[in-house]
Amino acid sequence: MIRVCFRLTILKQKPFIEDKTMKIQINTDHNIKGHEALTVKVREQVEGALSRISEHITRVEVHLSDENGNKKSHNDKRCMIEARLEGHQPLAVTNQSETLEDAVEGASDKLTKLIDSTLGRLRDHKNHNTNPDEPGSKHTEQL
């Protein structure tokens, strides 16, 4: 198994510049050769998919595996990606495909949608709790 870590640096726009880093760790099973070209492709795919929301992510772990080893079979390449959001439980998705590239792309897309949905629910929950006078709120007084 080969482990490779990368750092993606994102700068937030504030009165001063704050350095924010999203770590990406790539793991492979014993059936996949974790060569540099594969590592670069996986890193670029994950960074590209998560770049818009990376300010909320502290760490990403990518696990690549070949479910059937040397045997050829349908959808035997698996990609599991786990993302850790600031102050929240990790989120994980899995995708299987015939190629590693397709498995990584599918898992990256799933993770982006899951994080968008999770952040949206957190924003909605926060807005609901901070605005008790909103119509339909249980805190609204009857006139």
Give CA–CA dist 34/41, Å, rounded.
11
CA dihedral 77, 102, 53, 92 (to 10 degrees): -20
Is CATH 3.40.50.720 the right assignment for the domain spanning 3-128?
no
Tens digit of pLDDT for each residue in 104-136? 999 999 999 999 999 888 777 667 666 555 555
Report the candidate in 100, 95, 107 with the shortest Cα–Cα distance to residue 28: 100
Tens digit of pLDDT for each residue in 76-101? 899 999 999 988 899 999 999 999 99
Give CA–CA dist 117/60, Å, rounded.
18
The reply to whether the predicted model has a pTM over 0.75 is: no
Contact 91, 58 (CB under 8 A): no
